[in-house]
Amino acid sequence: MSNQTNEVATTTSANSGITTYNVGGYEIKLSKKIVRDTLLRGNETVTDDEIVSFIALCKFNQLNPFIKESFLVKYKNSPAQMIVSKDAFFKRADMCRNYDGFDAGVIVIAADGKVIERDGCFVAPGETLVGGWCKVYRTDRTHPTVAKVNLSDYDKNQSVWVNMKSTMIAKVAKVQALREAFPNQLSTLYTEDEFKEEPVDVQVAAEKAEHANTEIIGFDPASGDDATSQVVVDTATGDIIPQPGF
C-alpha cells in the first residue's frame, strides 16, 4: 500500500455536482457534463447513473482520466463500461510497497510441436503464436502470481491486433496477473483489450458503412405533399426503405 496520501474533496450540490480529488499532486475535477463532453466514447447514450458510477470509480481508484488512465465507453446494446489503461495498472502496482516486479512474454508452438513460453514478444518464423504469460512478484508472498491467456480468446483481428498480436496478448497477460496479485487495488479495473467487442472506432466505421448507401429525399412543398415528409432511398438499388409512419 502506498504511503502517499491523496486529499479528496466530497461532492456538493452547491458546487454544481463537481467531484474534486487529487492524483499525484494534480487536482482532478469531474462532473456529468465534463464526462459527456470529454471522456465518453461509443455510439450509445449513457445514463446519469452510469456517469455517476464512473466518477465514483475514478475517485476511489485515484485515476486521472485526462491523461487517458480511464474513460467511459458504451457499445451498442451493452451497458456502459469503465476502461482503464495498462499504464494505470502499473502505476497503481508501483504504489504498493510489496510490488517486486514481473516477468512476461508469449506462448508459441514451435515447428516440432513443442510449446514454448518465451520472455518478451519475439515470435520466430515457423512458430505459431498461441498466447501470453506473466508472473508478478510480491515481497510478502513466497510464490509469484501467474497468468496465462489464449490468443484466440482476445484477438479481435482489428486495429493494432492485426500487426502486433504478440505485444497485445502479452499486455493482456500482464494486466490479468497484476489484477490477481493486487486484488484490493485492481480487482474492479479492466482494459479495453480484455473485452471481446470490437474497438469503438471500428464499430462506428461499421455503422457508417451500413448506412452509406442511403439518401434522404424531401418532397417539394409546391407539389401539395407534406413538406416534412421524407423517404429514404438505397442509392445502390433504387429501392425505397420503409420508415416509421409510412
Q: What is the DSSP code string of 79-94?
A: --EEEE-HHHHHHHHH
**36 close to 17: Cβ distance less than 8 angstroms:** no
The pLDDT, as a whole number, for residue 44 is 72
Q: Which residues contact 19 (CB under 8 A, 6 or more apart)?
A: 9, 11, 29, 30, 31, 55, 56, 59
**Residue 241 pLDDT:** 52
Query: 123 φ, ψ to 5°?
Result: -125, 120
pTM attached to this predicted model: 0.69
The number of beta carbons lying within 10 Å of the beta carbon of residue 145 is 19
> Cβ atoms within 10 A of the Cβ of 24, count?
12
Cα 167 to Cα 123, 142, 226: the distances in Å are 10, 28, 58
Q: Are 230 and 71 in contact (CB under 8 A)?
A: no
Q: Which residues contact 110 (CB under 8 A, 6 or more apart)?
A: 116, 126, 127
pLDDT < 50: residue spans in the chain: 1-15, 199-240, 243-246
- The per-residue pLDDT for 51 is 93
